[in-house]
A and B are shown apart, each in its own frame.
Chain A
Amino acid sequence: MSQPIDLETMRSVAGLAGFEWSDAELEAIRPLVDASLRMLAGLETLPLDEVEPTTQYRVL
């Protein structure tokens, strides 16, 4: 994600997840959400095309 997340998008995403957070609550966490989304975008740079999602279970 190149653009910072805006309040309207946050409101929509939270609503889809079933949370009714106030604009003040959302605004307070917006810097953290922005920073986290930038960090998560780094996962797209990894060579993952041939890698299946792993679960932690090692059934032995």
Chain B
Amino acid sequence: MIAAREVSPVEVVRAHLERITALDGSLRTFITLTADAALAAAAAAEAAVVAGRPLGPLHGVPLGLKDLYDTAGVRTTGGSRILAERVPAADATVVRRLREAGMIVLGKLNMVEFAYGPEGLNPHYGHPRNPWDATTHRMAGGSSSGSGAAVAAGLVPVALGSDTGGSIRIPCSLCGLTGIKPTYGRVSRAGVLPLSWSMDHVGPMTRSAADCALVLGAMAGYDPADPSTSVLPVPDYTAALTGDVRGLRVGLLRGFFLESATAEVRAAVEGAATALEKAGAVVDEVALPGVRHAGAGSLAVVATEALAYHAAWLRTRASDYDPDVRTRLMLGAFVTGVHYVRAQQARGLLRREVDEALARRDVLLAPATPITAPAIEARQATLGDGPADIRSALIRLTRPFNFSGHPACALPCGVTAGGLPIGMQIVGRPFDEATVLRAADAYQRLTDWHARRPVLA
């Protein structure tokens, strides 16, 4: 529409800024709003359209950034008090790439301090509010909670999140969004504050698989500044969205995954499998027994890597941390070197198990979270297989694929009787995001869950 001059980038940016002004006082999704810079960029984008200059694939589209992506000249806090005044000199690689593709950054989004937690809470900048419930203050989820709530509320059409144990997929599940955690190595982490170097993934959070495909295509690819990125060429993800799932082999993850889910979540995911089957996919059931140790393995890896990054601040600025985050960091001191190596061995086992499941299937299907958005004061949840604390409940189905590194896309597949979104995830082979997105997009052509919006005051 922008390229066709049906709407101007200035109008688009101004409309989003007005919506942020109207709604963000209660939603608390932004830490830093860069309205003046966004309007200046929009004016330049409009001039480019008028002058007939070549336009990027995302020309004039507003973008929100989780506040752990470095932005040149704009503070990047990591949701912390410790980095409250930190102003990077340069953009993160993916921020630079998205600006080059034409996106306009509106500001920096709220998050769990240093991304260490899945509930989405932040005592320093306020707890982001899940926009799907106007009466009860519910978790937006993940550490990328500001990103999830902002996209769900229509404050930005696209946000970037990061995912160490599910922090893209959890807020997408709780807020009714579509987001992809790409394969480890598919997207550069250069200029992104780390939580756990070997578990961190970055990716887009949007309203549809088609939008994810467009944004991921502009983000992905080798980056000499991130030695973990792959030199594999980036396919045209949008071209992969054929809408055709005939013959697509889908493995529905039974056992741990469906057993964990509440009855409403389980029914919604099984309904999605049925919908794909009716569209021509070949659905069977599969279990990943080794996944039960992903929690222990992830704990060993994340706790030690996070402590290594934070050790100096933990010695000198301990009182500046959120007490919950400080406690998680302290735990890392009691994880031994042997635990860490055992975890890396267990990672190899799980990766092999997922690879084997995908040798005979194109994608795997599972709930993204076993529950829907809890109230922010909730500490316990009742899952399909018994009680669990909220934190472990939220991450139990997503973190196995951080541990294994496989790509996984979360998307809505229903709503509860109380009107809260239900999310599922589609998992694919390493570097086969195209098939993951094709399956997600095809499902969204069959259903309208992704098109539903929360009612906002």
Contact = CB atoms under 8 A, between A and B. Distances in A.
Interface in A31-49: 32-33, 36-37, 39-40, 42-44, 46-48
Contacts of B342: 40, 43-44, 46, 48
A58 B430 contact: yes
A39 B299 contact: yes
B289 to A, nearest CB: 11
Nearest to A26: B330
Interface string B128-152: 0000000000000000000000000
A55 to B, nearest CB: 7
Given A43-B339, A48-B349, A17 B333 contact: yes
B388 interface: no
Contacts of A24: none
A56 B198 contact: yes
A57 B293 contact: no
Contact of A33 (B331, B344, B405): B331
B165 interface: no
B344 A37 contact: no
Contacts of B327: 28-29, 32
A58 B431 CA distance: 10
A57 B185 contact: yes
B368 interface: no
Contacts of B185: 56-58, 60
Given A18-B315, A43-B342, A60-B230, A51 B349 contact: yes
Contacts of B38: none
B232 interface: yes
Contact of A19 (B293, B315, B346): B315
B228 interface: yes
B300 interface: yes
A14 interface: yes
B100 to A, nearest CB: 25
Interface residues of B, number: 42
A42 B231 CA distance: 37
A52 B345 contact: yes
Contact of B330 (A18, A21, A48, A60): A21
Given A19-B315, A53-B341, A56-B228, A43 B346 contact: yes
The number of chain A residues touching the other chain, given as a range, is 20 to 34
B255 interface: no
Interface in B340-358: 341-349, 351
Contact of A54 (B334, B345, B430): B345
B375 interface: no
A60 B185 CA distance: 9
B296 A58 contact: no
B346 A29 contact: no
A54 B331 contact: no
Contact of B405 (A29, A43, A56, A59): A56
B345 A51 contact: yes
B12 interface: no
A7 interface: no
Nearest to B340: A53
Given A40-B300, A43-B296, A58 B334 contact: no
Contact of B348 (A10, A17, A21, A51): A51
B333 A37 contact: no
Q: Which of A33, A55, A58 has the most CB of B within 10 A?
A: A58
Contacts of A60: 185, 230-232, 431
A21 B326 CA distance: 12
6 contacts: A18-B315, A36-B303, A39-B299, A48-B346, A54-B351, A60-B185
Interface of B: 183-185, 198-199, 227-228, 230-232, 290, 293, 295-297, 299-300, 303, 307, 311, 314-315, 327, 330-331, 333-335, 339, 341-349, 351, 405, 430-431
